[in-house]
């Protein structure tokens, strides 16, 4: 008795042809998205350079003193924020000024090609023509401006252009002192070749480029953030759970964005506790608790104390929730409080860590069961 041969399913020519066409269209859309983002980014970059030029020229026409320049930055920041919204903090406006000073293309004769004539015959600025002078993204220039050494900055700029480094890759190379490691080496070619290779975390998707906070601010768009479904659902439920505990918790914001140095961060939930008169900063993790989580929360609390806390309010408190699959942990961050009496009061009034753990654990299991049931029913 001979065994029957299993028939091997092969894709029909039509299916193969369709899949090839689908792949081609998907690639076209991704490339179109990237090009669209880069076009907007180029306009954004040259616009900020032009703002910087106007600030410097205004200062040169004024008193020419540092104090005077500082007042101009603050006043311009306030006026632009009132008129255009986010993106014009004192730090951002100062960076536009520094951008012009560090990349003075106006000194190059060919930069005059950026001057055009309007319909009325008056001279104006052709942003598209000037944009060609800035081949990198605005986020690249922001990171480069943090490098104090002119030699190191020129090196990183040249390597970014040569190797096509993304923003995260440039940030990693600067943070790991790539220039300082390369400069004294006798075999620079090998090190430079190694530096060309991106790490997995260096890759930026078209969607990631579109959601760049700097880009959203320039376009005046809402800063919405796409989380994983599980994290999104847990944050939603936790927010409702805290509000249901009583009238003490008042919702302030979700995915609240903050900028520390040249890096962007997001706080999952921000509440105000009326009885304690303090902000409650909540950070949710889907993996196990690490010392880095505690350090990051300390950074959040320091920022919240300096920028979001009013004079008559108490210092903010942090809550770290780690919803790991087999172990849920809740931990309050009270180290920054000025005395033990206040810390003791916080512990008495705030929800117990055990009750938060139980609620998160129960919610996670319910969400996973619901998702599993949905998958089985397909």
Crossing angle for the helix pair 353-376 and 229-244, nearest 10 degrees? 140
156 vs 111, residue with greater confidence: 156
Please report the pLDDT score of residue 98 as a whole number: 92
What is the rounded CA–CA span in Å between residue 270 and residue 254?
Answer: 6
Q: How confident is the model at residue 45 (pLDDT cuts 50, 70, 90)?
A: very high
Is pLDDT at 69 greater than 70 in this prediction? no
**Does 17 reside within a domain?**
no
Strands 317-323 and 278-285: parallel
Dump pLDDT digits (tens) for 5-32.
444 455 556 667 888 889 899 889 888 8
Q: How many CB atoms lie within 10 A of CB 69?
A: 19
Q: Are 270 and 144 in a shared domain? A: no
Torsion angle (degrees, nearest 10) of CA 366, 367, 369, 371: 160
Which tokens in the block code for residue 125?
């600025």
DSSP bridge partners of 115:
125
Domain presence at residue 2: no
Better pLDDT: 91 or 120:
91
Same domain, 156 and 211: yes
Give 199's pLDDT tier (boundaries 50, 70, 90).
confident
Residue 14 placed within a domain: no
Average pLDDT, whole number, for the chain?
77
Answer yes or no: do 112 and 162 share one domain.
Answer: no
- What is the tens place of the pLDDT at every residue in 143-182? 999 898 999 999 999 999 998 898 888 988 888 888 888 8
Is it the case that residue 110 has pLDDT exceeding 80? no
Q: How confident is the model at residue 100 (pLDDT cuts 50, 70, 90)?
A: very high
pLDDT category of residue 292 using cuts at 50, 70 and 90? confident
Q: Is residue 8, in this structure, part of any structural domain at all? A: no
pLDDT at 108: 36
- Domain boundary, last residue among 223, 239, 273: 223
Q: Could you give the CA distance from residue 90 to residue 69 in angstroms, rounded to a whole number? A: 12
Domain count, the chain: 3
**Do the beta carbons of residue 177 and residue 150 sit within 8 Å?**
no
- The band of 187, judged by pLDDT with boundaries at 50, 70 and 90, is confident
What letters, b where the CB count within 10 A reaches 16 and e where it falls short, cover 321-359?
Answer: bbbeeeebbbbbbbebbeeeebbeebeeebbeeeebbeb
**Does 233 lie in the same domain as 215?**
no
Mean pLDDT of 26-47: 86
CB 322 within 8 A of CB 285: yes
**Structure tokens, 90:** 């004192």
Looking at 73, 105, 134, which one is the last position of a domain?
A: 134
Tell me what pLDDT residue 263 has: 77
In a domain, 60, yes or no: yes
The CA–CA distances, whole Å, from 109 to 61, 106, 112, 130, 133 equal 23, 7, 6, 12, 12
Choosing from 165, 188, 223, the residue where a domain stops is: 223
Query: Is 13 part of any domain?
Result: no
Residues 253 and 372 in one domain: yes
Sole residue written with tokens 């950070």: 283
Can you give the pLDDT at residue 51?
93
- Judge whether 150 lies within some domain: yes
Percentage of the chain surpassing pLDDT 90? 16
Q: Are residues 214 and 253 in the same domain?
A: no
Are the CB atoms for 293 and 328 separated by under 8 Å? no
Domain extent for 296: 229-376
Give the N- to C-terminal CA distance of the chain in Å, as an integer.
39
Query: Does 99 share its domain with 174?
Result: no
72-91 residues labelled b (16+ CB within 10 A) or e (exposed): bbeebbeebbeeeeebbeee
Residue 209 has pLDDT above 80, yes or no: no
Q: Which residues contact 216 (CB under 8 A, 6 or more apart)?
A: 222, 223
Same domain, 205 and 259: no
What sign does the dihedral 154-158-161-166 (CA atoms) show? negative
Q: Among 55-69, 111-125, 172-186, 219-233, which stretch is predicted with the lowest mean pLDDT? A: 111-125
Residues 275 and 335 reside in one and the same domain: yes
What is the model's pLDDT at position 123? 43
Indicate whether 96 and 176 sit together in one domain.
no
């Amino acid at each position: 008795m001979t065994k029957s041969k299993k028939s091997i399913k092969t894709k029909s020519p039509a299916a193969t042809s369709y899949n090839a066409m689908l792949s081609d269209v998907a690639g076209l859309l991704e490339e179109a998205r990237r090009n669209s983002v880069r076009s907007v980014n180029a306009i954004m970059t040259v616009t900020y350079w032009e703002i910087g030029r106007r600030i410097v020229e205004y200062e040169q026409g004024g008193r020419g003193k540092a104090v005077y320049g500082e007042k101009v930055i603050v006043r311009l920041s306030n006026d632009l924020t009132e008129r255009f919204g986010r993106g014009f903090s004192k730090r951002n406006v100062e960076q536009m000024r520094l951008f012009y000073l560090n990349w003075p293309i106006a000194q190059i004769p060919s930069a005059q090609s950026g001057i055009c004539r309007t319909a009325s015959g008056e001279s104006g600025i052709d942003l598209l023509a000037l944009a060609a002078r800035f081949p990198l993204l605005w986020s690249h220039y922001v990171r480069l401006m943090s490098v104090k050494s002119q030699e190191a900055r020129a090196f990183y700029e040249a390597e970014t252009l040569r190797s096509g480094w993304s923003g995260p890759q440039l940030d990693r190379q600067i943070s790991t002192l790539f220039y300082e490691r390369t400069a004294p080496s006798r075999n620079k070619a090998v090190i430079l070749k190694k530096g060309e290779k991106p790490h997995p975390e260096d890759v930026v998707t078209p969607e990631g480029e579109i959601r760049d906070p700097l880009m959203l601010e320039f376009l005046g768009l809402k800063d919405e953030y796409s989380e994983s479904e599980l994290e999104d659902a847990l944050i939603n439920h936790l927010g409702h759970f805290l509000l249901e505990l009583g009238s003490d918790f008042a919702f302030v914001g979700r995915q609240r964005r903050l900028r520390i140095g040249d890096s962007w961060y997001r706080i999952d939930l921000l509440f105000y506790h009326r009885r304690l008169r303090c902000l409650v900063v909540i950070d949710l993790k889907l993996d196990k608790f690490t010392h880095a989580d505690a350090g990051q929360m300390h950074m959040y609390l320091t920022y919240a104390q300096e920028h979001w806390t009013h004079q008559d309010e108490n210092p903010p408190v942090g809550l770290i929730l780690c919803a790991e699959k087999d172990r849920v942990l809740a931990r309050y961050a009270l180290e920054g409080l000025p005395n033990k009496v206040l810390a003791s009061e916080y512990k008495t009034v705030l929800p117990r860590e055990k009750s938060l753990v139980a609620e998160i654990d129960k919610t996670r299991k319910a969400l996973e069961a619901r998702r599993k049931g949905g998958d089985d029913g397909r």
